[in-house]
């Protein structure tokens, strides 16, 4: 057995295809594609940043809606609801003021937005217990079948700016 191992190790493997490329046919290699060279982005100057910020501010100012109830600009589109009369955007707080003028609240009742363009008059026996309440009246503010056109426009504008 000892001789077999020695013979195997001493044998020349010139014709073998598995010994350090000896005897293998030279394979043609595909030409290497050059690796892309990393180039760091150009530095942005403070002047360019200020110009961009000024352009964004001008864009927002030119496309900022005004509340038809109070006349103030609407800064936060998340707190906007459509006017009942025209469908234009108004402040959420302005809508609550309109409701307060139309509806009389009893003790323990409050207005609450319950979603899908609706408000509710909510009653809590214990004002400190926010988990237990009942909705005494539902007020349809926005029509379910009509989606104000300004919502899509404003969402599009804000997605471009932010």
Going by C-alpha positions, the residue among 87, 21, 59 that lies closest to residue 162 is 59
Express each pLDDT in 6-50 by its tens digit.
555 555 555 555 555 555 555 667 777 888 888 888 888 889 989
Q: How confident is the model at residue 59 (pLDDT cuts 50, 70, 90)?
A: confident
> What radius of gyration do the chain's Cα atoms show?
37
Strand, coil or helix: 11: coil
The domain segmentation of the chain, as residue ranges, is 46-161
User: Above 90 in pLDDT, residue 107?
Assistant: no
> Phi and psi dihedrals of 90, rounded to 5?
-135, 160
The confidence score (pLDDT) of residue 94 equals 93
Flag whether pLDDT at 137 surpasses 90.
yes
pLDDT score recorded for residue 85: 84
3-state secondary structure of 23: coil
Percent of the chain with pLDDT over 90: 17
pLDDT exceeds 60 at position 86: yes
**Rounded average pLDDT over 52-60:** 83
Region 72-100 average pLDDT:
87
Mean pLDDT to the nearest integer, 58-74: 83
- Extract the runs of DSSP E, i.e. beta strands, from the chain: 80-82, 89-91, 109-115, 118-123, 134-140
pTM, rounded to two decimals: 0.55
Q: How many CA atoms lie within 13 A of 152 on its CB side?
A: 4
Q: Which residue has the higher pLDDT, 89 or 147?
A: 89
pLDDT at res. 122: 92
Average pLDDT, the chain: 79
């Amino acid at each position: 057995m000892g001789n077999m191992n020695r013979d195997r190790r001493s044998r020349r493997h010139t014709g073998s295809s598995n010994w350090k490329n000896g005897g293998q046919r030279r394979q043609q290699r595909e030409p290497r594609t050059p690796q892309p060279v990393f180039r760091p982005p150009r530095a942005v100057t403070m002047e360019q940043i200020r110009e961009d910020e000024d352009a964004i501010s001008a864009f927002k100012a030119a496309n900022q809606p005004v509340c038809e109830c109070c006349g103030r600009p609407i800064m936060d589109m998340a707190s906007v609801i459509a006017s009942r009369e025209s469908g234009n955007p108004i402040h959420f707080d302005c809508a609550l003021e309109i409701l307060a003028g139309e509806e009389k609240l009893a003790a323990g009742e409050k207005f609450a937005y319950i979603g899908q363009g609706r408000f509710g008059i909510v009653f809590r026996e214990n004002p400190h217990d926010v988990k237990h309440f009942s909705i005494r009246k539902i007020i349809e503010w926005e029509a379910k079948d009509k989606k104000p056109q300004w919502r899509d426009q404003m969402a599009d504008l804000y997605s471009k700016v932010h």
